Amino acid sequence: MNTPLRPEVAPPPRPVADTPLRGVRSNIVQSIRAFRVQELQETAQSLGQHFLYANLASAQSKQDVLDMIGQQFMLPAHVGKNFDALYDSITDPLHKSGPQPGFIVVLEHIPAHARFDKEAREQLLDIFRDAADYWGDRKIPFRCFYSFL
């Protein structure tokens, strides 16, 4: 007897209240603190959101940081040029490409040394804060978690 194959249907996204993010605002940039990367990735999957991860441990300069984020987020090549291009690539083109379910972003091991000083780190985090505001204005969750090396 032939049994028709039923297509696998993804489970519906879980409500945020059922995840480790229940106490985290929907549009924020914050230290990763008590969260683990694997836990955030699983949460993004269960919420049906995009998960973007960049490990920046080997970055030695601003250019390295931009290049690594661009490569690991699989962004267009021009992203590696400057912070403005990074901001542009994680906001408007994605919004124009269609409805977005939300984002959980992890920037792990942001360098903390003379070639990527405090000002550069703050500029980088400001790009993601501005992106969180951009998506917040559109009622799309954008949570970015970071750690320093």
Res 149 pLDDT > 90: no
* pLDDT at 41 (0 to 100): 96
**Residue 15 falls inside a structural domain:** no
Question: What mean pLDDT comes out for the span 24-44?
Answer: 95
What CATH number has the domain bearing residue 109? 3.30.370.10
**Residue 33 falls inside a structural domain:** yes
**Residue 5 falls inside a structural domain:** no
- Average model confidence (pLDDT) across the chain: 88
**Residue 18 falls inside a structural domain:** no
Using a pLDDT cut of 90, give the percent of the chain over it: 70
3-state SS, one letter per residue, for 92-113: HHHHHCCCCCCEEEEEEEECCE
Residue 69 corresponds to which tokens in the numbers above?
Answer: 């984020």
Query: C-alpha 42: how far from its chain's center?
Result: 14
Rounded-to-integer distance, Cα 71 and Cα 139, Å: 27
**Residue 3 falls inside a structural domain:** no
Res 10 pLDDT > 90: no
Which structural domain range is residue 44 located in? 24-148
Res 83 pLDDT > 90: yes
Res 70 pLDDT > 90: yes
- Contact between 128 and 105 under an 8 Å Cβ cutoff? The reply is yes
**Residue 4 falls inside a structural domain:** no
**Residue 13 falls inside a structural domain:** no
Q: How many domains does the chain have?
A: 1
**Residue 7 falls inside a structural domain:** no
Rounded-to-integer distance, Cα 106 and Cα 144, Å: 6
End-to-end CA distance of the chain: 60
* pLDDT at 9 (0 to 100): 47
Describe the strand order of the beta sheet including 27-31 as a list of residue ranges: 27-31, 142-148, 103-110, 50-55
